Amino acid sequence: MKFYEIFKQKLNEAGYKLTTQRRVVFEVIGANEGKHFSPEEIYDIVKIDHPEIGLATVYRTLKLFEKIGIIYRLNFNDGCSRFEMSHLDDESHRHHHLVCIECGKILEVKIDSLQALESFVEKEYSFDIQNHTLKFYGLCSDCKKRRNKCKMETTES
């Protein structure tokens, strides 16, 4: 089943109608998969073709989407909530992220190798894990290159 059909089904099952505003916000998030947009960034894209949709509507729509599992909120400790599409046709875990502490770039890690750790935690603590998130903080390749270049220039002086 396609994402859009699953999206409409989730709205319907939760008792909500598919409005133009909801469709537009969904399309913006879906068309920008892999990007981790703040509500304001989503609004900036939405208003290009739909200036009648306000920022408050975007916030309400995101809150609804999060509530019914269409998106989830991410916090990268930068003072801003960001949103990402849930994999609507896949009940597996969320993917992990690499966050550059210098430029703020966010990269996705598509593999999940934490099954052994999850099994240990579930057994040791009698805890039924439903999902997890993992964030690594460090320097992206661009920032590492910039730092190394600066170090070389400093030592040559």
Q: What is the pLDDT of residues 29-65, one digit of tens each?
A: 989 877 888 999 999 999 999 999 999 999 999 999 9
Largest interatomic CA distance in the chain: 67
- pLDDT score recorded for residue 93: 55
pLDDT at 89 over 60: no
- pLDDT score recorded for residue 87: 64
For the stretch 93-151, pLDDT in tens is 567 778 888 888 878 777 767 788 888 889 999 998 877 777 888 899 999 988 888 87
Contact call for residues 48 and 58 (beta carbons, < 8 A) = no
How much is the average pLDDT of 86-91? 58
How much is the average pLDDT of 85-89? 65
pLDDT at 73 over 90: no
DSSP 53-118: S-HHHHHHHHHHHHHTTSEEEEE-SSS-EEEEE--TT--SPPPEEEEETTT--EEEE-----HHHH
CB contact set of 17 (below 8 Å; sequence gap of 6+) = 11
How much is the average pLDDT of 65-70? 90
Contacts 24+ apart (CB under 8 A), 5-13: 6/88, 6/89, 7/70, 7/88, 10/68, 10/69, 10/70, 10/88, 11/68, 11/70, 13/68
pLDDT at 88 over 60: no
Q: Which domains are seen in the chain, by residue range? A: 1-91 (1.10.10.10), 93-157 (3.30.1490.190)
